[in-house]
């Protein structure tokens, strides 16, 4: 029983930290203007100028990552994630021709990026 509790604890910590690294990495790529799918990401939110949208999204993702690194800020990260995840799926609805080669199973590279 004791080993499974330890494994659960370490597993959850490693998952949280790996997610933090991914969000920090993706957010910083956007802030450094190195995101390979920046044009695609910006087309999914046509209401904002692309440069502003990328900065806002990059900051949002980097903050999620930073909050996941600090244990007491994990609840903040979870609220931010709840706002972020529906927006992540938005291109599947707004840009299906760019996300699917064959709906619903054939994904383009962009569709795989979202999934």
User: Using one digit for the tens of pLDDT, what is the confidence trace for 36-82?
Assistant: 999 999 999 989 999 999 999 999 999 999 999 999 999 999 999 99
pTM of this structure: 0.88
Written as six digits, the tokens of 60 are: 């949002």
Distance (Å, whole) CA 96 – CA 56:
24
Residue listed under structure tokens 């021709």: 97
Beta strands in the chain (DSSP E): 100-102, 106-107
CA dihedral angle for residue 65, residue 87, residue 28, residue 51, rounded to 10 degrees: -150
* Cα distance between residue 90 and residue 42, in whole Å: 11
Q: SS3 for 53-66, per residue? A: HHHHHHHHHHHHHH
In which residue are the tokens 């990495």 written?
Answer: 25
pLDDT at 91 over 90: yes
pLDDT at 1 (0 to 100): 55
């Amino acid at each position: 029983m004791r080993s499974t509790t330890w494994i659960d604890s370490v597993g959850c910590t490693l998952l949280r930290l790996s997610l933090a690294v991914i969000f920090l990495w993706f957010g910083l790529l956007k802030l450094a203007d190195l995101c390979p799918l920046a044009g695609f990401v910006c087309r999914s939110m046509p209401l904002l100028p692309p440069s502003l949208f990328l900065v806002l999204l990059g900051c949002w993702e980097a903050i999620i990552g930073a909050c996941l690194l600090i244990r007491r800020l994990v609840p903040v990260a979870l609220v931010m994630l709840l706002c972020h995840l529906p927006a992540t799926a938005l291109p599947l609805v707004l840009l299906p021709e760019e996300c699917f080669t064959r709906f619903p199973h054939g994904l383009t590279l962009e569709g795989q990026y979202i999934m």
